Every structure is written in C-alpha cells, then in structure tokens.
Amino acid sequence: ARTSALEASTAAPLRKKGQPVAKPSEELRRRHVLRTLDHTVASWLFRAKMRVAGKEAIVKALGEQQQERVLAALDRCAALRLKEAVPTIIKLLRHQDSRIAERSIGVLVSIGDRRAVKPLTKLASFRESGKLAMVIDGIASLGGPEAVSFLEFVADGHRHPTVRDMARQALARLKRAKAGK
C-alpha cells in the first residue's frame, strides 16, 4: 500500500497553484522529486523509530496528525501485542480515516484484549454489512460473555440472512474454541 501511494504521487500530474501543468518546468519537476524523496525518507525514518521505540512512545504516536504515522504506530502495536495501547486504539475505531478505523479493529484483535469487545459492539452498524462482517469476526476472535451475547443478538436479529449466517458461524467457532480449552 505504501509503495502504491508513492507511485501514485509520482505519477500524478504536477501542479502549479492547484492546476495540472502539461509541460512542467525543470524546477517544478525537481521540487516534485525532492518533495517525494523527502516524504519517503521521513516515512521510512518514522517506521524505523517505531521499531526501537518504547511502549510509551508508540502509544503517543497513535495521536500523530499524519495518518501514515498512525498506521505505522498501529502496526507496531499489533506486532508487540501492546495491551497498554488498547484504550487509545479503541478511540481510533471512530477515526475519520477509514484506513485507521479498520486497521484499529485488526490490531485490537491481534492484541487479544477483551476490553475491546464492548466498543466493537457499539461500532457495529446494522446498515454497513461489510464493516459488520469485520466486527463480527473480530468480536468472535476476542471471545468472552459480551461477545457471545452480541453474536447471538446478530444471529437472531439481523435483517440480512448472510449476516445472520456469519454471526452463527462466528458463534460456532467461538463455542468450539471455548470447548477446546
């Protein structure tokens, strides 16, 4: 994803005062290349910094303004299974950038902290079937009594048969996992 974003930024038409430039000057091309390199190096350095950062610094980075930095911090939280970050990640579930909100679901599941179940149930919108599927799977993976109650509710009450089936399957997986312990 990061490579495709870089490729898109370098392939996009060069602009001057917001307007595309059909035949950019050498100076405009040079500035564009330098800006692209600067962005790439800064992104790489931030990711490298996250690899060696302590827990507090990683959690703090979840509050960065640049979305790419938040995504890098989320990746690190998942890799470390950073339970200290769970409250902050829960807040990111409602982030305006859908990449951050959706990645937060996956990171919470990776961490495996059941404190995330209730916020995930509140996140579930019965109108957004695609997101609901992601939430159902995440809640089933986390498990616990709240997860069972939510999955039973969806399995019995959702208007779409496909979503009801997903909830039933998730509930069955959850019960099998519990029986296997």
- Which spans in the chain are helix H? 2-11, 26-52, 55-61, 67-80, 86-92, 98-111, 117-123, 129-142, 145-157, 161-180
CA distance 27 to 50: 34
pLDDT of residue 112: 94
% pLDDT > 90, the chain: 56
CA separation for the pair 40, 7 (Å, rounded):
11
Model pLDDT for residues 94-131, shown as the tens digit of each residue: 999 989 999 999 999 999 999 999 999 887 666 666 77
Residue pLDDT, tens place only, 17-61? 777 777 878 888 888 888 889 888 988 999 999 999 999 999 999
Name every residue whose Cβ is closer than 8 Å to that of residue 36 and which is 6 or more positions away in sequence. 6, 9, 10
Total-model pTM? 0.76
Query: Which H, E and C letters describe 101-117, residue by residue?
Result: HHHHHHHHHHHCCHHHH
